[in-house]
Amino acid sequence: MILKNNNIKILVTGGAGYIGSHTCIALIEAGYEVVVVDNLSNSSEESIKRIQALTKKKIIFYQIDVGDKSSLKQVFNENSIDAVIHFAGFKAVGESVMKPIQYYSNNVSSSINLFDVMKQFNCKFLVFSSSATVYGDPVKVPIKEDFALSAKNPYGRSKLMIEEILHDLFVSDNSWKIVRLRYFNPVGAHSSGLIGEDPDGIPSNLFPYISQVAVGKIKKLKIFGGDYDTHDGTGVRDYIHVVDIANGHVNALKAIYEKSQILTINLGTGHGYSVLEVVKKFESVSGRKIPYEIVERRKGDIANCFADTNLAAKVIKWKAIYNLESMCKDAWNWQSKNPNGYSKKT
């Protein structure tokens, strides 16, 4: 199968979500047809409508749960699926500590369902949305793909379990083509301001939290931990623009279309920013003051985390191009145009 021609159909699970929606745009712009399945438990169908408005292309959308095998089979029966990009799953570290059973059930069990259905329909081309949380608390940075794995929370462990399942699947049948993308901290939004991150309730991730403080939806930012072993005491992360992440998925598909293999690739910028550095840059871009207070650390969080990106450059010919200012600018553009997220149209 050559993934350079038109009429190649990609199934995107969780395609109405934050990263999934941006990846749908990248896929369509690269000439692929897109089918989306999403149960809308933490996303909105409005994002699908906006993707179609931006790309002028129709998306085939099914509101189903990946854990529903019979519905998933219907999708494969009704569409000739060439490859799958698997995003669907719960994603909040803090919530996973409080609700581990839900995370293992939803993330791991549903993935097994998906892989089983793919096998039944002889669709063995997969890009999996993994996470840098599988590295746990690394002994040093930057983090390379061959570092020891030791996830520190149920969310990270669910991703690691799925990675290991995919390894076993490939060992059992090496006709599979699999890429496990471990990305770091996706932020920002599409430059149009039409799609972006729209979390339910108080955000668990830094950028939407800051954005909602800037727009006046939340009074002040809570910074979880000010005594980490970093230059200013706040956690350091490798923040990466969501459009860079989306383009990484397209590059991953192209990189493995000729050869059956299983790859594991970091997607990051290779540079870490502290929470306070992000706050300062966001204030500069938005012109808004971000009041904050430093509170206790969250369980499962680590001090310092950023990627070694050499393998991505070598194997999938990919490199992040957006800087922190662009990430903050696009995040603010999205939030200022959509103060209530997708619940109120632009």
Angle of helix 206-214 relative to helix 324-337, nearest 10 degrees, comes to 50
Upstream peptide bond of 142 is cis (omega within 30 degrees of 0) = yes
C-alpha dist (Å) from residue 206 to 23, 100, 202, 211? 21, 22, 11, 9
Check 18, 155, 209, 273 and give the catalytic one: 155
State how far the Cα of 227 lies from the Cα of 139, in Å rounded to an integer: 18
State how far the Cα of 333 lies from the Cα of 191, in Å rounded to an integer: 8
Ordered by where they begin, the domains of the chain are 9-343 (3.40.50.720)
Q: Which residue has the tokens 């599979």?
A: 176
* pTM of this structure: 0.95
Per-residue pLDDT tens digits of the chain, which is 346 residues long: 445 546 899 999 999 999 999 999 999 999 999 999 999 998 999 999 999 999 999 999 999 999 999 999 999 999 999 999 999 999 888 889 899 999 999 999 999 999 999 999 999 999 999 999 999 888 899 999 999 999 988 999 999 999 999 999 999 999 999 999 999 999 999 999 999 999 888 888 899 999 999 999 999 999 999 999 999 999 999 999 999 999 999 999 999 888 899 999 999 999 999 999 999 999 999 999 999 999 999 876 888 999 999 999 999 999 999 999 999 999 999 999 999 999 854 4
Task: Note if 103 is an active site residue.
Answer: no
